Amino acid sequence: MAAPNHLLNRFPFLDTRSPYDARKKQRQVWGQYTNKVVGKAAYHLLHNRATLNRSAIDYLACSTSVRSEFSEPHDWYWLLLPTSGFLEITLCGKSFTADTTSALLLGPWQRMCFQASRATAIFYGIETSFMAEHLPEEHRDRPGFLIRGTYRNLLRQLLEGFANGLDDWATGPVGKSAHPSFVHHMETAVCSTIAEAVTDDLSGGYGGGRIGGMPITAIHTFLNDNLCDDLSIKEIAEAVGVSVRSLQTGFSEHYFMSPMQMLKNMRLDKARELLKSATKGITIGDICRRVGINHAGRFSKEYAERFGESPSQTLSGQGTSPCETSL
């Protein structure tokens, strides 16, 4: 993703392989928090922020799994939009996840835990009063909202365009005189899109787009209901009522991945949910069978790549996020 990388050349950023140095420097941006490194003793964390009028664009990249606990209350809204990898958030006792198919809007928090697994993401912070101008009052008390499909893709385009515009301004072509009006216009566009996505989703009016004659949300439900079956791409296409090619094109447009990649990720996500809630005597093999995974070795590798920890760590509780045990 070119835009945030351009921003890294124009605005202050953190680039360090020392977790202790990263923790010290990031207090200037994130506030007080504790940090744990999973796996290697050192990791590469790259973080950049462009502070604007009533919002801020952040870019975060980490090449290994990182867990962080934010212990200071925060009164902004934050949109987390991964461009690669997987993010897991624990907020107000609830867990939320986001990846390349979904963005996550977080409300103000008292305490938050964040886990990224080899991820790159755009974080967009919004002043609470500014978000309140766009978000209906009945939706303001919820801790988190998941934004999928067309709205998620539109927000990525808006934020990348925003970053490109800031880069143009920083390097001269746009000119400093145009900066305030440009920022105001883009901040309003992003907040309006977020509010529309949240409102439509909670009112049941947004189906996330369609592939053939079936809403994308219905296709997602079909896959979720049949995780334990050995589905082929042809069977999925037949259930949707389109050709294999149309199915692949539709998934690429909506999710930036193939149907089988989506199915794999859904199985891994369900396996993680089951591993976290497993009772005594449940094995990893039992979990694999429940989600339609037939190759335990491949499962362990893919699980670790997605979540930054092994299935056995999750099952034993060793991989639990710091604040999941203290909230």
Mean pLDDT, rounded, for 42-54: 64
H-helix segments, the chain = 2-8, 19-30, 128-132, 149-171, 179-203, 216-225, 233-240, 244-255, 259-276, 284-290, 296-307, 311-316
pLDDT of amino acid 38? 39
Q: Are residues 81 and 136 in the same domain?
A: yes
Q: Are residues 182 and 254 in the same domain?
A: no
Q: Look-up: residue for tokens 């977790």? A: 19
Question: For residue 203, what pLDDT band results from cuts at 50, 70 and 90?
Answer: low
Q: Which amino acid is it at 210? A: R
> Which residue segment(s) compose the domain that 194 sits in?
2-203
pLDDT of amino acid 30? 40
Q: Which of 139, 169, 203 is the last residue of a domain?
A: 203
Q: Which of 170, 203, 236 is the last residue of a domain?
A: 203
> Is pLDDT at 206 greater than 80 in this prediction?
no
Q: Are residues 49 and 184 in the same domain?
A: yes
Residue closest to 105 by CA, chosen among 34, 198, 27, 234: 198
Q: Are residues 183 and 217 in the same domain?
A: no
Q: Which has more pLDDT, 301 or 179?
A: 301
Residue closest to 193 by CA, chosen among 157, 163, 224: 157
Looking up residue 227, the CATH number of its domain turns out to be 1.10.10.60
For residues 51 and 123, the answer to whether their CB atoms sit within 8 Å is no
Question: For residue 208, what pLDDT band results from cuts at 50, 70 and 90?
Answer: low
Q: Are residues 144 and 114 in the same domain?
A: yes
Q: Are residues 64 and 166 in the same domain?
A: yes
Q: Are residues 247 and 178 in the same domain?
A: no
Q: Are residues 70 and 216 in the same domain?
A: no
Model's pTM, two decimal places? 0.73
Q: Look-up: residue for tokens 């309003």? A: 188
For residues 211 and 254, the answer to whether their CB atoms sit within 8 Å is yes
Q: Are residues 217 and 318 in the same domain?
A: yes
The average confidence (pLDDT) of the chain is 76
Question: For residue 213, what pLDDT band results from cuts at 50, 70 and 90?
Answer: confident
Q: Which of 203, 220, 239 is the last residue of a domain?
A: 203
pLDDT of amino acid 7? 41
Mean pLDDT, rounded, for 210-229: 84
> Is pLDDT at 321 greater than 90 in this prediction?
no
Q: Are residues 197 and 248 in the same domain?
A: no
For residues 321 and 115, the answer to whether their CB atoms sit within 8 Å is yes
> Is pLDDT at 205 greater than 60 in this prediction?
no
Mean pLDDT, rounded, for 220-225: 87
Q: Are residues 190 and 231 in the same domain?
A: no
Looking up residue 170, the CATH number of its domain turns out to be 2.60.120.280
- Written as six digits, the tokens of 229 are 């079956």
Q: In this predicted model, what pLDDT tens digit does every residue of 12-42 receive, in sequence order? A: 334 444 545 545 554 444 443 333 433 334 4
Q: Crossing angle for the helix pair 233-240 and 244-255, nearest 10 degrees?
A: 90
User: Number of folded domains in the chain?
Assistant: 2
Mean pLDDT, rounded, for 117-144: 85
Q: Are residues 159 and 289 in the same domain?
A: no
Say which range, 83-92, 97-106, 290-299, 313-322, has the weakest mean pLDDT: 313-322
Question: For residue 10, what pLDDT band results from cuts at 50, 70 and 90?
Answer: very low
